Chains A and B, each alone.
Chain A
Amino acid sequence: KAGVTQTPRYLIKTRGQQVTLSCSPISGHRSVSWYQQTPGQGLQFLFEYFSETQRNKGNFPGRFSGRQFSNSRSEMNVSTLELGDSALYLCASSLDQGGNNSPLHFGNGTRLTVT
């Protein structure tokens, strides 16, 4: 089975621009979560989607948004980029069989640099 695929791997953007990152989950996985990884703050939860619905959201400003499509692929968008948004953005998928937490499988991430 193919793993979680994230595109692009690297992005360089300028302050004020917006960016869209893409994630294709493992086949059959319906839950997709997004995390931000930085040296200072570590791994922080952004949001989670299941069946095209956002089920949970972390403590990030409204500039961070996402969506999920009917094929479970997900995108996240960051508008009005700030220097502090420079980070590795990780997508994770899980089987989510209902009730209990399922193991998360991470993609290789998208490294975003804001200049």
Chain B
Amino acid sequence: GENVEQHPSTLSVQEGDSAVIKCTYSDSASNYFPWYKQELGKRPQLIIDIRSNVGEKKDQRIAVTLNKTAKHFSLHITETQPEDSAVYFCAASRSGGYNKLIFGAGTRLAVHP
């Protein structure tokens, strides 16, 4: 069935370090991969997304890479700041899936000053 595995479940870094979160998806028809950030008590917010016709996408300190062959995609955050502390979710969806996102279990990122 459809499944997205996300690792690690928790990640602790020092301010200024980089953080990497990895996801693996099972549905080979998946072609859209968004990442959401959820701060405590708040709604998930889209931070970056990538489609299967692109291997990498970058937005300031955030980048996402996609390896379709291995069915892996990763989130990279450089120069982390305390305000990056949150739970990050990866997700996958297929074309014609009508906005059905399959989410990973989440990664709790803590950035220590």
Q: Chain B: which residue is nearest A46 at the CB level?
A: B100
Q: Which residues on A sit within 8 Å (CB–CB) of B95?
A: 99-101
Q: Chain B: which residue is nearest A104 at the CB level?
A: B99
Which residues of A53-84 have CB atoms within 8 Å of chain B's CB atoms?
Answer: 55-56, 58
Please, how many angstroms separate the alpha-carbon atoms of A108 and B49 in the complex? 21
Q: A99-B95, A100-B95 are in contact. Are A48 and B100 (CB under 8 A)?
A: yes
Which residues of B56-100 have CB atoms within 8 Å of chain A's CB atoms?
Answer: 89, 91, 93, 95, 97-100
Interface-centre pick from A43, A90, A100 (highest chain B CB count, 10 A): A43
The count of chain A contact residues (Cβ–Cβ below 8 Å) is: 28
Contact, CB under 8 Å: B100 / A103: no
Please, how many angstroms separate the alpha-carbon atoms of A4 and B44 in the complex? 12
Q: Which residues on B sit within 8 Å (CB–CB) of A33?
A: 99-101
Which residues of A1-58 have CB atoms within 8 Å of chain B's CB atoms?
Answer: 4, 31, 33, 35, 42-45, 48, 50, 55-56, 58
Contact, CB under 8 Å: B98 / A48: yes
Q: A43-B103, A100-B51 are in contact. Are A56 and B97 (CB under 8 A)?
A: yes
CB distance from B96 to the nearest CB of A (A): 8
A115 on interface, CB distance cutoff 8 Å: no
Task: Out of B45, B100, B104, B106, name the residue touching A106 (CB < 8 Å).
Answer: B45
Contact, CB under 8 Å: A31 / B43: no
Q: Which 5 A-B pairs have the closest CB atoms?
A: A56-B98, A101-B32, A43-B103, A55-B98, A106-B43
